[in-house]
Structure 1
């Protein structure tokens, strides 16, 4: 836990051992932490130098023990410096380091866009080979901050279905708006009903069409990945990564067109359906959001109280409004009261 604040494993062991007592000797700390005496002494010296631990008075009002009487001097005892005082500078430094990293990331991103995004050769990047295609696919999913748009069609080639679950879960946990249009044939695979149910429950929005022209994933409308015909690269799986350009805009437009015409999928106790059941009810997570919104709590505060991202709150609110057929949150509140949702 404390390694994030700059403490090594041995230092953290001694520090946490001191948390349980007002003061302690090096010998007591060595016994409690499991470190050798020499290692404990070294760590204590380092912690004292860094201001995390202070040396208590070596002579005290209590009677010396047998070892102290034999040696003729009192054993040094150590105590923690208050964490709010000692660890605050480390926390500030970690925050500053993160801000510097974010600034560097933004600078490099903008520099890339200004210098490399304009030449025609950099608009489309060709990726060849199973490992490279899979690596770039996971990069797109894990790097998304706001939105993922996906076309699912045909059998997976470079990225098996079971390998996409972790990236999808990570995106949903971050509150990424995750929309998928799937060709009907894609759902014919084994255990697909279970996977679809789990995805929709986690917040993925899935719609169904009879067919799609291509596979595709679009990340934050900044870049997209489209597989190529295997015959183009000597039988090896290959794909193109499309960066911001007119071509990317066309791919996003294609997705939105298919999305608007596709049929939403719903999950019920009896399975997955391409038409809404006769009566739908909000999920438990959606009802939690609804209760906070009706209490006048902002989306940001609701996200903080529920321990989810603000985009998750927005996504659940949007689905509540879809279920209620409401155009505003005021209408949503009226429908929720009439339907007995709360």
Structure 2
């Protein structure tokens, strides 16, 4: 947590240990953190120099206070209590570190913007400013993670078949990182993508974390679009011995076309939901009950006979029976009891 403010892991361990008590000696901190005595002494000296901790009481017993002499220092009397340390209030001590890190981030963002514009405006590489080709497993994987982890607003993804250059578990880590940052993450997956081993479990976890995913019968290509500024499209290998390769498309008419392609497929795809019985895709319109069929279903579930349902709805008895039969077909039910159970699970009513 505090590494983002420039503290090392040992420094964070000592600092958070002091948070739980008013004061502590170096010996106390050794026992509490599990660090070696010399490490605790060095950390306390560093934290003291940076104004993050202060000495509450001094003595020379046990581990010498931060900044004290060696173990044979003449002023270490056995009758003196060991030095005790306390935290400087975090609101006072950590605020300058936070400002320093925030300013460093702003400088890095400014440098990033300048370098990006310089790259795009370089006259010597006009084609490279629009499309770049990446070849090789490591290079493709590196560029994939770079684009996904660099997304700040939105990721649009087409998923088809098994991954080639990027291991599925590595992709899951990048995906989780994007969701944790609040990135709007939308995925259209080809129907057979879910057939892979363990994919269902991974998709359910991602949906729970905020991923939106829809299913399509098929897709024209694999793709990832990052913040609508860059896209990565894997290339087909000419033969089985060829190296994986991909193109990275920067802002251009081609990138705009890829975004439009995604939105078109997204609108036509079926949403995928995580239910108590597993993943479920929202059925197409022809596979859902009509409003009239749901009216019949509601009355049947209330225990009303077919004849009374027909009377109340102004239908013929044959129409009621036909609608009931279609409901049972949609539910895959052999009895009206099974129909009622499926209607409840599917949220028809």
Q: Structures share a fold, TM > 0.5?
A: yes
Is 1:241 the counterpart of 2:268? The answer is: no
Is 1:273 the counterpart of 2:273? The answer is: no
**Partner residue of 2:265 out of 258, 263, 272:** 258
Q: Larger relative contact order (C-alpha < 8 A, sep ≥ 6)?
A: 1
SS of the equivalent of 2:215 reads strand
CA distance in 2 between partners of 1:180 and 1:20 (Å): 44
Aligned to 1:154: 161
Aligned to 2:51: 51
Whether the aligned pair in 2 keeps the contact of 1:117 and 1:244 (CA below 8 Å) is no
Is the alpha carbon distance of 1:196 and 1:19 closer, same or farther for their aligned partners in structure 2, counting shifts above 3 Å? closer
Is the alpha carbon distance of 1:193 and 1:87 closer, same or farther for their aligned partners in structure 2, counting shifts above 3 Å? closer
Please state how far the C-alpha of 1:182 moved relative to its aligned partner: 2.2
CA distance in 1 between partners of 2:37 and 2:276 (Å): 62
Aligned to 1:209: 216
Whether the aligned pair in 1 keeps the contact of 2:51 and 2:88 (CA below 8 Å) is no
Aligned to 1:100: 107
Aligned to 2:88: 82
Is 1:228 the counterpart of 2:230? The answer is: no
Whether the aligned pair in 2 keeps the contact of 1:214 and 1:226 (CA below 8 Å) is yes
SS of the equivalent of 1:206 reads strand
Alignment of 1:301-312 (within 5 A): none
CA distance in 2 between partners of 1:187 and 1:22 (Å): 55
Aligned to 2:197: 190
Whether the aligned pair in 1 keeps the contact of 2:24 and 2:86 (CA below 8 Å) is no
CA distance in 2 between partners of 1:194 and 1:155 (Å): 16
Alignment of 1:165-180 (within 5 A): 165-180=172-187
SS of the equivalent of 1:241 reads strand
CA distance in 2 between partners of 1:15 and 1:167 (Å): 30
Is the alpha carbon distance of 1:112 and 1:266 closer, same or farther for their aligned partners in structure 2, counting shifts above 3 Å? same
Greater Cα shift, 12-21 or 162-171? 12-21
CA distance in 1 between partners of 2:165 and 2:76 (Å): 73
Aligned to 1:321: none
Is the alpha carbon distance of 1:193 and 1:40 closer, same or farther for their aligned partners in structure 2, counting shifts above 3 Å? closer
* Larger radius of gyration between Structure 1 and Structure 2: 2
Deviations 1:187-245 (A, max 9, x none): 33334443443333333222222222222111111111112120179611111111111
Whether the aligned pair in 2 keeps the contact of 1:145 and 1:174 (CA below 8 Å) is yes
Whether the aligned pair in 1 keeps the contact of 2:120 and 2:129 (CA below 8 Å) is no
Greater Cα shift, 161-170 or 132-141? 161-170
Whether the aligned pair in 1 keeps the contact of 2:191 and 2:215 (CA below 8 Å) is yes
Aligned to 2:331: none
CA distance in 1 between partners of 2:217 and 2:43 (Å): 66
* RMSD of aligned Cα (Å): 4.0
Whether the aligned pair in 2 keeps the contact of 1:25 and 1:75 (CA below 8 Å) is no
Is the alpha carbon distance of 1:278 and 1:31 closer, same or farther for their aligned partners in structure 2, counting shifts above 3 Å? same
Please state how far the C-alpha of 1:53 moved relative to its aligned partner: 4.2
Is the alpha carbon distance of 1:144 and 1:75 closer, same or farther for their aligned partners in structure 2, counting shifts above 3 Å? same
CA distance in 1 between partners of 2:232 and 2:75 (Å): 76
Deviations 1:90-136 (A, max 9, x none): 33322322332233233333333344798123311111112221222
How many correspondences in the alignment? Answer: 272
CA distance in 1 between partners of 2:48 and 2:81 (Å): 16
Whether the aligned pair in 2 keeps the contact of 1:23 and 1:77 (CA below 8 Å) is no
Whether the aligned pair in 2 keeps the contact of 1:266 and 1:275 (CA below 8 Å) is no
CA distance in 1 between partners of 2:257 and 2:149 (Å): 23
